[in-house]
Structure 1
């Protein structure tokens, strides 16, 4: 592979975040962090023979796609891990989800319980506990609070999805909330219902929302359907550590340690069924 095409995803992500964070601290515009990164990269490359050529732009596009892809893949995998942890902790729900999938041959969308499991996972463990920084384009007043123009705004997504006024027993894993007859049957996670906005809402909704949903739900359903998940010897499901590690992403403090036990015929794991 040509050295120009060899990039370190973590290095690019960390570099981008350092520039973004410094710009925040200096009260510069945080409305377009990608633009900040591009301007920084271009200013760094001033004076070089190859400054703003098509080749350079292609490399910048590749870097940014890797930054976005790396972040999106991490949040998706973290959400799947949380879903499996909750299903392992609630074996009765896991068994019902498996039986539901056993009865569906071609249409994974016809999995109301699994869809409810994913929604409840997004609610209980939102991928990003705080939204990315936004900037007030004009002064306004919200619930008696004055917000000046140019103020940096963060939405506390975790607090919204754990508000007992909207979510009875907010710390409990209750997928039935989203099932037919449940209090939140009609609630979705795509930004139209402000009780649960794991991807944000409005014009600033996460651009990777569709990709994230296409990754999380099929992956969680496949892993739940294909395996029984057993904890280390002597550990009871209710004793599974569910401590959260806070940061840009809401991850488990300790990785999920569970043993996958195949429950289907061998051919199912070879792509023959």
Structure 2
């Protein structure tokens, strides 16, 4: 029984092993097919890669060719544009020079015309200035000039009269001072009467002096003495007539009263 049981177990295990072997073989075939499929796919991918590589190389060559052609066309177009721009620039330069010459000629003509007009205006201005300088004087201007001259003459006469009166008074002052010194001496004694003293009787022989002496006049006037003349007044500035000897016996002419000066214009 044990043997049969072990045989059954071994048979059962062998069946299981066979089943597993079958399964593994089936799986192996399936994997082989998958591997063959993958190989075929890899080969197809390699073929595609080769085709794409060839196409990429072709496209690269095409791009290089197109780029070289485009660069060549751009160079040609640039050369054409440069030539066109040079032609246009030459034309514009020629037009500018022509316009510049025309404007210069117009400017020269205008300048000459302005010089002629300026010369004519200068001649006209000189003629007008000559006419203005040689114009006749107006009556009111002549009258005003005459009045002004008369006023100036009258003013000069008034000034001359004032100068003469001033000299006369200066001479009169010096003359009176000289006469005063001759009458009262050069150093007179000044006194005053004292009314409070008693009067002297006829029989009274005692002297009663009603006069009170005061300081000498020369001492009082010592502050205003002049050089060489202790009792004279200070000389008038710029007047050289004080040192002239005057004749006291001959009276001086009396001053003529001055007329009232008329009103005249003041010139600033």
Question: Does the alignment reach a TM-score above 0.5?
Answer: no
Normalised-by-shorter TM-score class: under 0.3
Question: Whose RCO is larger (CA < 8 A, sep 6+)?
Answer: 1
TM-score by length of 2: 0.23
Bigger radius of gyration among the two: 2
Q: Whose strand proportion is higher, 1 or 2? A: 1
